[in-house]
Structure 1
Amino acid sequence: MTSTNTPSHRVPPLLWLSVVVLVTINLRPFLTAPGPLGNAIQQATAMDLRSFSWLTLLPMALMGIGGWLAPTALLRWGARSAICGSLLLIALGCALRMLPAGAATGSLLIATAGLCGAGVALVQSIMPGLIKRQSPHNVAPMMGLYSAALMGGGALSAQLSPLAMQWGMDWQAALAIWAIPVLLALPLAWRALSLMRADSLTRASGSAPHSGDGGDTGWLLRRRRTWLLLISFGLMNGGYGSTVAWLAPFYQTHGWTATQSGSLLAILSIAQAASALAMPALARRSVDRRPWVLLALLLQVAGFAGLALWPDAMPTLNAIVLGLGLGGCFSLFMLVALDHLPSPTQAGALNSLMQGGGFILAALAPLAMAQLHQLSGSWTSGWLYQAGVAALVCLLVTRFNPKGYQRAMGR
């Protein structure tokens, strides 16, 4: 069997770098675009807050389910077919939002969000493992770049979607335009993934789970550490889902316009991208990532507390603080999961399982906030809830001592 620490391909580094950025940047626009357009969408579709939360809940839940299926999909279809087919699903989901106004009901919007979420699920679950295989000596900075591109795509959508309405588009077109960059990235992804050796990406499907790169993930599910990673990632990422769904509508209740609230969400997403890129690079100097993860979580506590208690005091600064916490935490969790196992395929499978269950758990957060809003009549209780969740994850993260990784994974 080939070494698990050597690249599997001959993909030129610049091409691989471009593919990571241009594919990943398309994984969040469909999710961040509806928030700033919430008033227009709700007026046209008569969606209440709980129905509107499904535009975030359903795709995040499908991202989770897809994460669980990703190792099997990679073995059955290979990286090229799985990723490129998923990109087509994202493009289709975005494009269908352009259907005539009479058909553009809330149910259709939720269905298109589901299509996009299903497409994103496989891509974001497969990419970390590919990154570890393709860039074995640069995993931390590459995961930072991957996470930054993820957040950067969300920033573009949050800013440009309300501007598109200002420039004369209706809300449907402002949502549908995000099919275009997906289709532009598709040929490049096909080319790069075609250069990878399919046999090395799917090798050892019958190998013993402790000795090879096998597709059997049952042994991972029997490890307590897998579930600790899953729960911690899910609770932490629920803050991102809630922010994407409700930050712009929250500030619109304070008199902000769609463009202004979209700009604030874009600023938060830019801070996410910067932190997602910087924190793994800074954490690269230490095998123990916990101090950086804890810093990111404490920034989240401060940011959510600011939204709850002083929303109008310094909204831009608060958005930056919260964005730094959310972005850094996401990329560091991906890195911590990959750190647990030396085999790229096994580490990628663990990452997929963490994302899979984690996104299912995180999907409930926007709905929980909508329910808290309905019960209390304000957003304060929801933002305080997210601050409390981030504080809880701080306690869970203390368990991630790298000296215990081998024992935790039963190796």
Structure 2
Amino acid sequence: MQKKSALGIMVLAILFVSVNLRPAISSIGPLLDTIRADLSLSSSEVSLLTSVPVFCMGLFAPLAVVFNKKLGLKNSIAILVAAIGLFTLLRGILPTYPVLLISAFFIGLSIAIISPLLSAMIKRNFPTRTASLIGVYSFGMGLGATLAAGLTGVFYSVAGWPIALASWGLLAIAAILLWLRVKEPVAEVSELPLEGAASVSPWKNRRAWYMLLFFGFQSALFFSVITWLAPIAIEKGMSILVAGAVLTVMSTVQIACNLSIPLLLERWPSRHLWIMVSLGFGAAGVLLLMFADMIFIWPAAICIGITLGGLFPLALLMPLDENKTADDVNSWSSMIQSGGYIISALTPFTIGLFYDRFQNHMISLSLFLGFIAILTVFAFLLNKKPESAGE
């Protein structure tokens, strides 16, 4: 009974920690135009506040091994969650662009290191329920993103944008208090290699590169939508508050699909089918934003939410479907996610550059449609059976 209670606390702690991994990024989107105007920034400058942390998520994940060796898994996660909380709160104390940019860097670095440490913890303590715990982890990230997207506009209307951004740092307090109660022993990262030696290096495998690009462009679509959907809605005539509600609807649908698509795969197991269905909804949503009236922003947000919620778990499943051993899965996942996040980090900034040049979000929406077209190409390439195991 005591062991079950300890495991229950651990599950809850994983949920609370994962909730902290998105609000500092997704809270920027609803306030993008406000921050840009208040600090006299260009669109490309303000978009760095979402591009920088995502780039760090791809670049600094290998530091998880160093942190675990020096501090241990439990202490590392506690310190890094505290760092996310402190740098998020700092945005309200010193609301300047350099502070926002520095906080974005250290928040992204902390998220990058926490993610593989949490995965190692789940592997060690829940070996027979890995999928369920990854579901808890994914749900927590989606919940944090949804809360930040929906409530940041509300906080802004009450207290202004610095407090609206800083308020999400309070989530870290609850997560740390719960995390420190975790008593179940966990494995060292060195015992569960995050970059295991695969029998065939993914860096030499064409399908691994296809998966990296697929993961990168689905992630690029996600972070670009999170950053620019609210400004697009505002440009069409919506208030900040209503634009935030649009993001909430999109994120809520996304969370529902994060949970439901893996369940639907049990009944209809074709990965390609669900990828194409997801991409079809995304194309419909973007076309509505491009050519329909303002009222159609709501169904467009639902369609895009289905796309983002479907593509993410399907992209995560790809290296698991392709490999038979845990070491191979780790090696492929490390390559795919690191490279993919670096690709996706560049896209909100690129969209900001185009908006600075053309002052029209039709370019942004055309890029969204371009991402969907690229994903469709790689979906068909990945649907082909590999010619040989060592390709």
TM-score by length of 1: 0.84
What is the DSSP-based 3-state SS (H/G/I as helix, E as strand, rest coil) of the residue aligned with 2:237?
Answer: coil
Query: Could you say if the C-alpha distance between residues 78 and 121 of structure 1 is closer, same or farther in structure 2, counting changes exceeding 3 Å?
Result: same
What is the DSSP-based 3-state SS (H/G/I as helix, E as strand, rest coil) of the residue aligned with 2:294?
Answer: coil
Larger deviation, residues 11-20 vs 291-300: 11-20
Query: Could you say if the C-alpha distance between residues 351 and 72 of structure 1 is closer, same or farther in structure 2, counting changes exceeding 3 Å?
Result: farther
Instruction: Quote the residue 2:9 is aligned against.
Output: 15
TM-score by length of 2: 0.88
Identical aligned residues as a percent: 26
Query: How far has the Cα of 1:362 moved from its partner?
Result: 0.4
Instruction: Quote the residue 1:195 is aligned against.
Output: 184
Say whether the 8 Å CA contact 1:280–1:335 is kept in structure 2. Answer: no
The separation in 1 between residues aligned to 2:251 and 2:376, in whole angstroms, is 22
Say whether the 8 Å CA contact 1:66–1:121 is kept in structure 2. Answer: yes
Instruction: Quote the residue 1:65 is aligned against.
Output: 59
The separation in 2 between residues aligned to 1:221 and 1:149, in whole angstroms, is 31
Query: How far has the Cα of 1:355 moved from its partner?
Result: 1.6
Confirm whether residue 56 of structure 1 aligns to residue 56 of structure 2: no
Query: How far has the Cα of 1:224 moved from its partner?
Result: 3.0
Query: Could you say if the C-alpha distance between residues 222 and 70 of structure 1 is closer, same or farther in structure 2, counting changes exceeding 3 Å?
Result: farther
Q: Which residue of 301, 307, 325 corresponds with 1:325? A: 307
Letter in 2 for 1:209: A
Larger deviation, residues 396-405 vs 267-276: 396-405
More helix per residue: 2
Say whether the 8 Å CA contact 2:196–2:327 is kept in structure 1. Answer: no
Confirm whether residue 209 of structure 1 aligns to residue 203 of structure 2: no
Q: Which residue of 252, 261, 271 corresponds with 1:279? A: 261
The separation in 2 between residues aligned to 1:308 and 1:360, in whole angstroms, is 28
Map 1:313-352 onto structure 2 (within 5 A).
313-344=295-326, 346-352=328-334
Say whether the 8 Å CA contact 1:159–1:266 is kept in structure 2. Answer: yes
Larger deviation, residues 57-66 vs 247-256: 247-256
Say whether the 8 Å CA contact 2:210–2:382 is kept in structure 1. Answer: no
Query: How far has the Cα of 1:233 moved from its partner?
Result: 0.6
Larger deviation, residues 336-345 vs 170-179: 336-345
Query: How far has the Cα of 1:22 moved from its partner?
Result: 1.4
Map 1:387-402 onto structure 2 (within 5 A).
387-400=369-382
Say whether the 8 Å CA contact 1:92–1:115 is kept in structure 2. Answer: no
The separation in 2 between residues aligned to 1:225 and 1:81, in whole angstroms, is 37
Confirm whether residue 41 of structure 1 aligns to residue 31 of structure 2: no
Confirm whether residue 122 of structure 1 aligns to residue 113 of structure 2: yes
Q: Alignment RMSD, CA only?
A: 3.0
The separation in 1 between residues aligned to 2:384 and 2:172, in whole angstroms, is 37
Listed one character per residue, the Cα deviations across residues 150-207 of structure 1 (whole Å, up to 9, x for unaligned) are 122111112221211223x221111111111112112333443x523325x43276x9
Confirm whether residue 362 of structure 1 aligns to residue 344 of structure 2: yes
Larger deviation, residues 175-184 vs 392-401: 392-401
Q: How many residues align?
A: 389
The separation in 1 between residues aligned to 2:213 and 2:66, in whole angstroms, is 22
Say whether the 8 Å CA contact 2:250–2:301 is kept in structure 1. Answer: yes
The separation in 2 between residues aligned to 1:92 and 1:152, in whole angstroms, is 21
Query: Could you say if the C-alpha distance between residues 208 and 250 of structure 1 is closer, same or farther in structure 2, counting changes exceeding 3 Å?
Result: closer
The separation in 1 between residues aligned to 2:304 and 2:192, in whole angstroms, is 42
Query: How far has the Cα of 1:71 moved from its partner?
Result: 5.4
Listed one character per residue, the Cα deviations across residues 34-80 of structure 1 (whole Å, up to 9, x for unaligned) are 22122332232111111111011111100110235445655665432
Query: Could you say if the C-alpha distance between residues 357 and 340 of structure 1 is closer, same or farther in structure 2, counting changes exceeding 3 Å?
Result: same
Letter in 1 for 2:216: G
Confirm whether residue 179 of structure 1 aligns to residue 169 of structure 2: yes
Query: Could you say if the C-alpha distance between residues 393 and 204 of structure 1 is closer, same or farther in structure 2, counting changes exceeding 3 Å?
Result: closer
Say whether the 8 Å CA contact 2:233–2:297 is kept in structure 1. Answer: no
What is the DSSP-based 3-state SS (H/G/I as helix, E as strand, rest coil) of the residue aligned with 1:47?
Answer: coil
Query: Could you say if the C-alpha distance between residues 10 and 225 of structure 1 is closer, same or farther in structure 2, counting changes exceeding 3 Å?
Result: farther
Query: Could you say if the C-alpha distance between residues 139 and 304 of structure 1 is closer, same or farther in structure 2, counting changes exceeding 3 Å?
Result: farther
Instruction: Quote the residue 2:103 is aligned against.
Output: 112
Q: Which runs of 5+ in 1 are unaligned?
A: 1-8, 212-217
Query: Could you say if the C-alpha distance between residues 79 and 230 of structure 1 is closer, same or farther in structure 2, counting changes exceeding 3 Å?
Result: farther
